[in-house]
Amino acid sequence: MDSVENRSLVQLEVVLTRRNTFGPLHLLPAVQASYGPESFISEGDNYSRDYALIPSGLLSEPELIIMEQDK
């Protein structure tokens, strides 16, 4: 990759949902089309004693693509 002449600091802020904090934490499958009061029931076929967390956060190394503006 060509070097960038005017290097500057790039800050990246990652903002997450509260899904893994407030739940539902024991619902299977973890990803549903929608969530409601029935998602928090602690019995039945869709209940798991283990936590059912969803992948979140910065899951891979970010890639910075620098594009030149047409003059």
pTM equals: 0.60
pLDDT at 25: 95
Question: Taking 70 as the threshold, does the pLDDT of residue 63 lie above it?
Answer: yes
Question: Taking 90 as the threshold, does the pLDDT of residue 66 lie above it?
Answer: no
Separation of alpha carbons 68 and 71, rounded Å: 9
pLDDT at 6: 66
Indicate the domain borders of the chain.
Answer: 20-54
**Mean of the per-residue pLDDT values of the chain:** 87
Question: Taking 60 as the threshold, does the pLDDT of residue 45 lie above it?
Answer: yes
Cross-strand bridge partners of residue 47: 27
